[in-house]
Amino acid sequence: MGPGGREHRTYAAIEAVSQSEVVFGYTKYIDDAEDLLEGKIIKPSGMRQEETRVEAALAEAAEGKVVALICSGDAGVYGLAGLSLTFRNTMGLTENVAIEVVPGVTAALAAAAALGSPLTVDYATISLSDLLTSREVIRKRLTAATEADFVVALYNPRSNTRHEPWDMAMQIFLMHRDHETPCGIVFKAGTEQESARILTLNALSESADSVDMHSLVIIGNSQTHIIDNRLVTRRGYRGE
């Protein structure tokens, strides 16, 4: 359903929800889509109930109902598309349930637009959440991305209780990148509460308190510059 603002929903996503009979989703995402849900059977559930939510949605679909499983951003980017396709197979529903994955605007794209054009060239999206991915794997991915000079978009950067992955990320970037590398923090990208801040990598490393789970952080590469107070990663066109 996009990053949150109604104007960022795709037409395909709106159509998919409008054609559904039953709608499953995390409670906040259900609330955000309230204007689309009149006359629907609503099945909200809480955080960390993703597996139960997907199983229940597939079970309803197996009964012949048209079901919408709502995610924020894009369902295939840290969303439930992969889990749905996997569970359909393990539940033996491949012949009974058809799944359509509807693309959406992921947070990295909404944040990039708020900052300017930092994702013009190759980039990596890395989640700093260690709930499903070990810190050692996160460390390897961060190191590889920094050494390869990727622009990096950091999802789930820092929570009230989870500080270590953020601290680790900053250490890795400071080790491999110029400390004056332009970066950006976008708070609640794509919503009415959106705010964006451009700063250097060194300043970013000292701004931990400005980063939370509502933030998307973009760290530039060697070709990222600040032009007219916007982040721009040069691609190599004439005059850049």
Question: From the CB of residue 116, how many other CB atoms can be counted at a distance below 10 Å?
Answer: 23
Which homologous superfamily is 107-233 in?
Tetrapyrrole methylase, C-terminal domain (3.30.950.10)
Q: Looking at the structure, give the CATH architecture of the domain made up of residues 6-90.
A: 3-Layer(aba) Sandwich (3.40)
- Res 240: pLDDT: 80
- Res 41: pLDDT: 98
CB 158 within 8 A of CB 128: yes
- Res 238: pLDDT: 82
- Res 4: pLDDT: 86
From first to last of its 240 residues, the chain has per-residue pLDDT tens of 999 889 999 999 999 999 999 999 999 999 999 999 999 999 999 988 999 999 999 999 999 999 999 999 999 999 999 999 999 999 999 999 999 999 999 999 999 999 999 999 999 999 999 999 999 999 999 999 999 999 999 999 999 999 999 999 999 999 999 999 999 999 999 999 999 999 999 999 999 999 999 999 999 999 999 999 999 999 989 878
Break the chain into its structural domains and give their ranges. 6-90, 107-233
pTM of the model: 0.94
CB 149 within 8 A of CB 221: yes
- Res 239: pLDDT: 77
How far lies 19's CA from each of 15, 65, 172, in Å? 6, 11, 47
